[in-house]
Amino acid sequence: MEASEFAAAKQRVMSESLPSDGNDLDGMALDFDAYLWHSPLISQVVVRLTGDTSHLITAECQATPRCSVTEIAEELERIWLRDLRYRYFEAHTVATNERGVRLDAVTQIAEGGFFVTAAVVADTVQPDGDGSIR
């Protein structure tokens, strides 16, 4: 989905319903953590609840060595579509650059039901043992 289409869909969902909270949002954050860690293309995951309705959940990931930007982009999109999104509605966009991938997403549980917004960033540049980037 193009970034402008995604922004419009996200704004519509956010204006028509309420953000997820409590146990529902905690459960979704746990799902992000579990499904991202389960991927053989991801070696590190940090998931956070932000309190910001535009990105209720953020996840920062490190791709495994020699994983290409294209591979990790496809993997994040697969995990989002197959495992994380609610079935009623979802919209997402994927942006890539030479360092990695960013997936921005919104999903809604039911008509008029709560929504979850998320940003998942996966870095494909591997840190050296001293913490510097190769």
Task: Determine the pLDDT at residue 132.
Answer: 42
- pLDDT tens for each residue of 58-117: 999 999 999 999 999 999 999 999 999 999 999 999 999 999 999 999 999 999 999 999
pTM: 0.91
Q: What is the structure's pLDDT at 1?
A: 80
Top pLDDT among 33 and 1 is at: 33
**Domain regions of the chain by residue span:** 3-110
Strand order in the sheet with 115-123: 42-49, 57-63, 115-123, 100-108, 89-97
Residues 79, 105: contact at Cβ < 8 Å? Answer: no
How many Å apart are CA 120 and CA 118, to the nearest integer? 7
pLDDT score of 125: 86
